[in-house]
Structure 1
Amino acid sequence: MSSTHEDAQPQTEQPTVRPVLTPGAAKRANASVTGMIMALAVSLLAIVPVWLLSGNSGAQVQRPTVNVSAVASEAKGAAGFSPAAPSLPAGYSANYARWVSGTSDGVNHWDVGWVTPQQQFVSIEQTAMANPTWITQQVNEAPITGTRSAGGITWTLYDKPGVEKSYVGKVGKTTVIVSGSGGFPEFDVVAAGVAATGGN
């Protein structure tokens, strides 16, 4: 008796198909990887300096040293007087010293600023050309509220809420304005230091 069914054919495994990148596709893939590496390198270059700077964030901030006496000596010829370079106690750090001229108000002046031990700011402006208008501008139009004594000089106090207070006094042949965010003890230290220079 013959069989009506054909003999079953053995099943053969299908070969694994591996994708083949064309040279163009391979180049694009490599370019993407290269681009990612370059972007990562740029990011690291931006982050590392910030990390290095913040690494000492708990340490005391180092400020550039300003040699007030040296700058004052250079300004003396233009000023016509000896600009004040007071010797202040430890903890007072000068962060600028400059001779200011050619301003629209026509008042050339010596300008120095210090950061105090309490991390406040006190500055002086000293000139032989002061006039009432200039003084009013420098004290931010604050009214006279009293006087203070420092360094043997009676200083006129200008003060009003919302603006920095100021001392104004005559030191030698110059007018000196002490201004800033510091407290009265800090103002007194700076004012006394300026008074000791003589202002001549």
Structure 2
Amino acid sequence: MTSPQPTADPAGSPAPKPRLTQSQAKRAGQSSRAMVLSVLATLAIALMVVLLNPRNADEPYDPNVDVAVIAEQATATAEFTATAPAVPEDWTANFARWNGAGTDQVEFWEAGYLTADQDFAGFKQTTQANPTWLSQQMDNAPATGSRSVDGTQWDLFEPTDGDRHLVGEVDGATIVISSSGDLGDLDTLASAIQQNLEEG
């Protein structure tokens, strides 16, 4: 069996290639340009959305937080003096805020720091604490004992995994101190809070 031969016109020459008229070529060029412009416009809109989108609430960290200034503002709203402890110079404050009452009806002031060892240490302060709220702030960590810091007794809560916590009453307010570091970080923050409130 012989293989099929390429087709040709009666004169034996190959079939002519189709040619676009001038108007067809113009329309094809316009379609290509329109598609490119459309893609560029879409990219520009997407870029604007990214730039205008506020920072994720799960990343509320700011290395330039002035805890003392924000504490003064919180004190004007709170029923207590919002503490602004003098933490070690190699600690960095990365958030401080007043939290209005939610469904738990508990208003509280809080601030958080990054220690010299890159661990977290922070506190919450309120005069409206209740057992449910306290348990939630400590992720249901069990009580494991107590610690005395500069003469003040604190209850210690330690989970099998996660932050340790100290809970105590200072100057009429309940303080919850949490840290991912060692017990020394808890003691350091507790001492600074006590000294700040005593001086205030």
Query: What TM-score comes out, normalization by structure 1 length?
Result: 0.70
The code of the aligned residue for 1:184 comes to: L
The code of the aligned residue for 2:23 comes to: P
Task: Name the residue aligned to 1:171.
Answer: 170
Compute the displacement of 1:28 (Å): 1.9
Compute the displacement of 1:113 (Å): 1.4
Task: Name the residue aligned to 2:32.
Answer: 32
Task: Name the residue aligned to 2:73.
Answer: 74
Task: Name the residue aligned to 1:8.
Answer: none
Q: Residues 125 and 38 of structure 1: is their aligned pair in 2 closer, same or farther, counting only changes over 3 Å? A: same
Aligned residues: CA RMSD: 3.2
SS at match of 2:169: strand
Task: Name the residue aligned to 1:144.
Answer: 143
The code of the aligned residue for 1:139 comes to: M
Contact 2:84 2:193 in 1 (8 A): yes
Q: Residues 183 and 35 of structure 1: is their aligned pair in 2 closer, same or farther, counting only changes over 3 Å? A: farther
Task: Name the residue aligned to 1:115.
Answer: 114
Matched ranges for 1:16-165 at <5 A: 21-29=21-29, 31-32=31-32, 35-36=35-36, 39=39, 63-165=62-164
The code of the aligned residue for 1:78 comes to: T
For 1:39 and 1:93, the matched residues in 2 are separated by 44
Q: 5+ unaligned residues in a row in structure 2: which ranges?
A: 1-16, 48-60
Q: Residues 39 and 118 of structure 1: is their aligned pair in 2 closer, same or farther, counting only changes over 3 Å? A: farther
Compute the displacement of 1:179 (Å): 1.3
Task: Name the residue aligned to 1:55.
Answer: none
Aligned residues: 172
The code of the aligned residue for 2:25 comes to: A
Q: Residues 82 and 35 of structure 1: is their aligned pair in 2 closer, same or farther, counting only changes over 3 Å? A: same
Compute the displacement of 1:145 (Å): 0.7
The code of the aligned residue for 1:76 comes to: T
Contact 1:72 1:84 in 2 (8 A): yes
Contact 1:152 1:192 in 2 (8 A): no
The code of the aligned residue for 1:138 comes to: Q
The code of the aligned residue for 2:29 comes to: A
SS at match of 2:197: coil
Identity of aligned residues (%): 32
Q: 5+ unaligned residues in a row in structure 1: which ranges?
A: 1-16, 48-61
SS at match of 2:196: coil
Query: What TM-score comes out, normalization by structure 2 length?
Result: 0.70
Compute the displacement of 1:63 (Å): 4.1
The code of the aligned residue for 1:194 comes to: I
Contact 2:142 2:157 in 1 (8 A): yes
Compute the displacement of 1:167 (Å): 0.6
Of residues 145-154 and 30-39 in structure 1, the stretch that sits farther from structure 2 once superposed is 30-39
Contact 1:151 1:193 in 2 (8 A): no
Contact 2:147 2:155 in 1 (8 A): yes
